[in-house]
Amino acid sequence: MKKQSVLFVCLGNICRSPAAEAIFINLINKKGFNNNFIVDSAGTGGWHIGKKADNRMRKAAHKRGLEILSRARQINSKDFEIFNYIVAMDDSNFENISALKSRKSLSDFSSINKIQNFRSVFEETEVPDPYFGGDDGFDHVLDILEDSVSGFLNTIC
């Protein structure tokens, strides 16, 4: 299998995209594909750079056996040369990533995708931002992502 690279992107890079990254890593480890992928996550915003993922998301993920280890960073021009898949959590992330690409005339190496295009169980076309909501929002994000991230992996390999 040719090496593939995947960057999951949300707004703050402390809730949804680190969760998507952890779910993806867990799946490729289980399938024995870990050497075939470079995986990372980033935010379109830079408010939380260097921070661990939100405690509430780490706790919700831990309950289902997932460890979220990433530190927040902001997407940058180089990412469009490194990652062949850039995967947005919602429409706004998708628009912001696309705008960054066209504003800076960046390489076409990356395809920009929306994770919910790979869903099969849940109807939501976007992963809802859980940051300002209650704890159950984090569990719901994980439920949605377990479905769509698995669909994404099955589509690309």
Binding site for ligand 4NP (CB under 6 A): 10-16, 47, 129, 131
**Least distance (Å) between residue 61 CB and ligand 4NP:** 13
The CB-of-154 to ligand 4NP minimum distance in angstroms stands at: 24
Dist CA 112 CA 80 (whole Å) = 9
- Return the closest-CA partner of residue 150 out of 14, 30, 11, 15: 30
CB-nearer residue toward ligand 4NP: 31 or 62? 62
Instruction: State the Cα–Cα distance between residues 153 and 69, nearest whole angstrom.
Output: 20
Catalytic pick from 10, 54, 58, 90?
10
- Distant-in-sequence, close-in-space partners of 22: CB < 8 Å, separation ≥ 6: 61, 66, 67, 68, 69, 70
From the candidates 54, 79, 90, 129, which is the catalytic residue?
Answer: 129
Mapping DSSP to helix (H, G, I), strand (E, B) and coil, where does residue 33 land? coil
Q: Which member of 15, 16, 56, 90 is catalytic?
A: 16
Closer to ligand 4NP by Cβ: residue 33 or 131: 131
State the minimum distance, in angstroms, from the CB of residue 31 to ligand 4NP: 26
Our answer to whether residue 10 is catalytic in this structure is yes
Helix (H, G, I), strand (E, B) or coil at 38: strand
Looking at beta carbons, which residue is closest to ligand 4NP?
12
16 is catalytic: yes
Identify which of 127, 124, 95 has the alpha carbon closest to the alpha carbon of residue 21.
127
**Phi/psi at 68 (5° precision):** -100, 115
Nearest approach, Cβ of residue 113 and ligand 4NP (Å): 17
| Residues with catalytic roles | 10, 16, 129
